[in-house]
Every structure is written in structure tokens, then in C-alpha cells.
Amino acid sequence: MAPQQPSSHWPRLKKQHYNPSISLQCAVSSIRCEVIGTRTIGGLMNVSDYASPEDVAYFTTRSDWQGWRLVLGNWLSIAAIFAVVAAWPNPITIVLAVILLASRQMGLSVMMHDCGHRSLFRSKRLNAVVGQWLCALPVMSDQPSYARGHLEHHAKSGSIADPDLSNYQAYPVSRASFKRKVIRDLSGQTGFKLMSSIVHGAAGALSKEKRASALPFVKQLLVQLVLFAILAACGIGWTFLLWAVAYMTVFMLIIRIRQVAEHAAVPDLFDLDTRMNTRTVDAPWWQRMIFAPCGVNYHLEHHFMASVPSYKLRELREHLRNRHALDGVPQFDGYGAVLRQAVTG
């Protein structure tokens, strides 16, 4: 069915009641794909209105080559950063290394996210193993636990039941408030709070009955030790400190800015239409490198069809534009534009 062209401004929709059972399940040839987080709201963002079964089959087809390109490319970038700062250690290279390592940590987090959707690789096992050992554990996360919570976010976004709501509901905030948040991030306070919660959770699971729940923390420490051992074997063990500093400071700020960009100060956080509660940022390359690696800036498109691999989200955006699905949607040409809307006064 050909989509109806929306008007150039946003029509106000009647509020929709959240139904946790809503999902899109589409059978394309012999492929059965579950698109978690996609909803049909008044016919405005129905996948079938903007994508044929053939389109869905194309966009949801995954490539192991592309998955490995992203994962190995990210780790090669990390290796290059360590090598350069070790060869020319000075205040400038050290600061740049901390910023770039934090951006690569974000890259690992995004790929953990993609593996949680089983969209980075073709096989369930490869998404699980690579997503855990090469993406989640290096950034002190646990891919299975993360995936459970994140899929709930997709199922409940646009409603008060969204488990991530506290990350962006308070926006817009004042400049003074946001400045305090930035200071907490860059001073390590946010990172220390996060690490304390991780350690506290693991310590509370040391009883015999709950010992299995402490296993992710043990794996996280093991991966950190392996990374340190590799650097030490190369004679640059001191650079591991930069990895830790990046994680505790700049990485926390990048996470905050990304969360703000995706869902804060949107047209209507409690409207189930993805175009109303989610934002895409058309950022320049250097901003994407730091704040939005692996196509995570195309967040509206991701919520529209969550099974689309990150390396096809930009193409999906063009597809939706050509079919007038994004007519009237506010455009943001960079993260500065987002912050100007989310931070006021």
C-alpha cells in the first residue's frame, strides 16, 4: 500500500495507551524477523506504510563481514591510540588519547547494543560471544543483562513505563544544572558512582545462593587484566591508566550527551509515535566519531525498525525521507543544536 504523504507540519495525535504486547512481526520469504520497539500509531509510523516486505528483508539482512569490520576496526583504532601516545607522550597527546579512547569505548558500547538486538552479525551465537567478550566486558558491562533492560526500553518507549526515562525526562534543564552534570562527569564522580554500584552489586552476590550473579563482574575484571597484560607485554603498561581515566571521565560525558540527543527535549516524550519521542542527529564526521560511532546518531530510524544493522541505518533514513515519512520532523545538524534545545537559560 502506498503511504499517504503527511502534511508539512506535525499533526497532533490522540494519545495512545501503551500496550506492552505491541510488536511488529513480519514474515519475509523464509525469514521471520521480530522488530522490537516498532509501533503502529494512527497509521503514521506503520512499517508497512513505508517499507515493502522486500524493503524489510533488505534492511534487516545482516553481514558478518560488516560486523567484523566494525569490531576489529574499533579495536585497531584503540591499538593505534595506545601506540601513538606511547611513542610521543606529552600533554597534548595524552589529552587527545583520553578523548579518543573514550570515543572508542562508546563504539564498543554501541556494538554491544547492536549485538543485543542480534543485528551486528548473522548468527545468534556470534552476536552473543562477540557482544559479550569484545564489546561489553571491556567497558565493564554485561551484554545479556544490558540486552534485557534495553529491549524493555524499546517495548515501552513513549510511555511512563520506559525504564530509561530518568535519563532524559527532566530536560530541558538550566545551564547551571547541566554544568553541574558535566563537572560530575569529567571529575570522575559519575564514573566512581557507577563503579561503586558495580562492585557493590558483585559483593552482594558472593553468597553461595547468588554466586552466579557475580560472574559478570569476574569476567569484567578478567578482560581488564588481559588488556593490561597485553599493554605491559608491549612495554607500555602505563597507558592502561589512560584507558581507565577515559572510562571514568570523558566516557561518562559522552554517554550523557548521547542520551540527551536521543530522547531529551523531544516534541512529546509520552507520545508513542517514534517521530515524537526519539531524535536523529545529522552530525558532522568529527562529532559522529566522538559521540555517535557505528551509526548510533540515527536513533529515530533505529526505533522505527530495531532489527536493522547499524551500518544500514543511514540508508534507511534516506529511504524514509524519500517516502515522506520524515516530513515535518525537526532536523538537528549536530550535537550543539541538540544541547541548545535541551539546555536553557
Strands 31-35 and 24-28, how do they pair?
A: antiparallel
Give 136's DSSP letter. I
Kind plus residue range of the DSSP H or E element containing 31:
strand 31-35
pLDDT of the residue at 21: 31
Helix axes 250-263, 189-203, angle to 10 degrees: 90
pLDDT above 60 (res 131) = yes
pLDDT of the residue at 265: 96
pLDDT, tens digit, 9 for 90 and up, residues 208-233: 556 667 889 999 999 999 999 999 99
pLDDT of the residue at 300: 97
pLDDT above 90 (res 17) = no
Cα distance between residue 46 and residue 323, in whole Å: 12
Cβ contact 72:130 at 8 Å: no
Reduced to 3 states (helix: H, G, I; strand: E, B; else coil), residue 174 is strand
Residue 16 neighbours by CB under 8 Å, 6+ apart: 41, 42, 271, 272
| Average confidence (pLDDT) over 16-45 | 34
Strands 173-174 and 343-344, how do they pair?
A: parallel
pLDDT above 90 coverage of the chain, percent: 79
Confidence tier at 207 by pLDDT (50, 70, 90): low
| Average confidence (pLDDT) over 135-158 | 95
| Average confidence (pLDDT) over 310-320 | 97
pLDDT of the residue at 27: 26
Confidence tier at 2 by pLDDT (50, 70, 90): very low
pLDDT of the residue at 49: 87
pLDDT above 60 (res 303) = yes
pLDDT above 50 (res 272) = yes
Residue 192 one-letter amino acid? F
Which is more confidently placed, 16 or 125? Answer: 125
pLDDT-wise least confident of 151-165, 182-196, 209-223: 209-223
| Average confidence (pLDDT) over 274-279 | 95
pLDDT above 80 (res 10) = no
Confidence tier at 20 by pLDDT (50, 70, 90): very low
| Average confidence (pLDDT) over 142-146 | 94
pLDDT above 70 coverage of the chain, percent: 84
Residue 134 neighbours by CB under 8 Å, 6+ apart: 71, 75, 108, 111
Confidence tier at 48 by pLDDT (50, 70, 90): confident
pLDDT-wise least confident of 44-58, 140-154, 181-195, 256-270: 44-58
Q: Where are the beta strands (DSSP E) in 155-309?
A: 173-174
pLDDT of the residue at 199: 85
Reduced to 3 states (helix: H, G, I; strand: E, B; else coil), residue 112 is helix
Kind plus residue range of the DSSP H or E element containing 35:
strand 31-35
Output the nine-digit C-alpha cell for 308. 536493522
Which is more confidently placed, 153 or 43? Answer: 153
